[in-house]
Structure 1
Amino acid sequence: MIDTSFYRWLRPLLRRRRRGLRAPEEFRPRGTSSKISRLSARYDAEVDAALERLWPKARVYHDREFTRDRADFLLVVRGRGVMIETKVKSDPGLFRGSTLPPLLDRLQRDGRRLVVLLNQGDPTPARELVAAKLGDKARVIVWSGPADDAALCEAVESLLKQATRHA
């Protein structure tokens, strides 16, 4: 038997969302479902602002798609490019860089330069991993805000001096 009650068909469309009801997981914006994702989005915005502040005439390209083998930013200064990868830790412990190998393998093939920015923690194990793959073409630094701008500027400028012209 066919239900002819239009009210039953229209009720979901006409119903107002009640406070306290949560949207199903597939309707939530990507990247906001965990504490780390929210911290990461905020950290990326802070890094973007720092890049604009330190190199106002530079072009900053963002990779909006989440992939493990591409960096989050490409900074092009005076025609030379440096890839920038951001990593967020919720605790101040060691950063081992376990998520970096796909990116490092790709950059090793492409010959690109890389700066890995870490929000907190000890980056010593990650520095060893990055140095083994990319040598002097990469830096791993802790950048937690404008107070660390000098370290970021020094790392990027040292890589720009050795980088080949970016097409």
Structure 2
Amino acid sequence: MAGAVATFTNSDASGAVALIATGALGGLLGLVGRWPTKLVVSGNEISWSEVTETVDEQIDAAQDAGDQDAVRQLEELRRRLEEMQRTGYAPRHPAAEYDEAVEQALRRALPGAAIRKEAIRSRGMADFEVASGPVPLYVESKFKRDPSTPFQGSTLAPLLDRLTESDRLLIVTNSLDTRGADAVVSGRADRVRIVTWLGPGDDAILQDALNQLARDAA
């Protein structure tokens, strides 16, 4: 993600290369079990300091461009890289933890239902497929590091375009403001619901939305 940001915000391609190589660096860590100080790709040597310096440059570029979402994502990357450098361990991303919590909430709401999680995240595929009735039910998880940040639904188009008339979609987010996304899915109220779920205390809201989708499909 950061490599892609660098590609569009920095004319120096080496910055993007350094960030993309970080992914390879993390994969190497998983294989060898220790943190290397540098990575050589196709004869090009990239040191740890170069990677972190590039991240800092891209944070500055995103701030200058006024792209606060990119700033937050890059700052999260910076924190995770610092943790990896310090401990040799990559902590789980909060979005992954949220996905797992949503899955557990679905199992509580639909005991006995078969829930399949997509192995690879894609904007055109929902995160979960739930087999609990006569029609396909999909669940998409949308995490915001700051729950007060509005969920605008700008990434939903590929997923919505793939929905058939019989498909049902529940979008679960921790954002407290979903008005922008509500506008994006308007006209699909019989097939799509958006709920704010912050934890087990919101299970009733989640279950009610699932029941509404099931009733609309009947």
Give the TM bin, normalised by the shorter chain.
Answer: 0.7 to 0.9
Q: Which residue of 2 is the match for residue 96 of structure 1?
A: 152
- 1:34-68 Cα distance to aligned partner (Å, 9 max, x none): 46x81111011101111112211111011111211
Structure 1: 5+ residue stretches without partners: 1-15, 27-32
Normalising by structure 2, we get a TM-score of 0.57
Cα distance between partner residues in 2 of 1:51 and 1:63 = 15
Contact 2:109 2:206 in 1 (8 A): no
Counterpart residue identity of residue 158, structure 2: P
Q: Percent identity?
A: 34
Q: Which residue of 2 is the match for residue 69 of structure 1?
A: 124
Cα distance between partner residues in 2 of 1:79 and 1:23 = 54
Cα distance between partner residues in 2 of 1:97 and 1:48 = 21
1:21 and 2:77 correspond: no
1:47 to 78, 102, 117: 102
- Runs of 4 or more consecutive aligned structure 1 residues displaced over 6 Å after TM superposition: none
Structure in which a larger fraction of residues adopt helix: 2
Cα distance between partner residues in 2 of 1:79 and 1:85 = 19
Change in 2 beyond 3 A, CA 1:17/1:38: closer
Higher relative contact order (CA 8 A, sep 6+): 1
What's the CA shift for 1:90? 1.3
Alignment of 1:3-22 (within 5 A): 21=36
2:171 to 101, 113, 116: 116
Structure 2: 5+ residue stretches without partners: 1-31, 42-75, 81-91
Q: Please report the RMSD computed on the Cα atoms of aligned residues, expressed in angstroms.
A: 2.5
Change in 2 beyond 3 A, CA 1:81/1:47: same
Contact 2:136 2:166 in 1 (8 A): no
Q: Look up the SS of the partner of 2:185 in the other structure.
A: helix
Specify the structure having the higher radius of gyration (Cα): 1
Q: Which residue of 2 is the match for residue 162 of structure 1?
A: 216
Counterpart residue identity of residue 158, structure 1: Q
Q: Which residue of 2 is the match for residue 7 of structure 1?
A: none
Normalising by structure 1, we get a TM-score of 0.73
- 1:103-132 Cα distance to aligned partner (Å, 9 max, x none): 01111x454111100012300110111124
Q: Look up the SS of the partner of 2:124 in the other structure.
A: coil
Number of aligned residue pairs: 138
Q: Look up the SS of the partner of 1:131 in the other structure.
A: coil
What's the CA shift for 1:22? 5.8
Contact 1:114 1:137 in 2 (8 A): yes
Cα distance between partner residues in 1 of 2:209 and 2:37 = 44
Cα distance between partner residues in 2 of 1:102 and 1:44 = 20
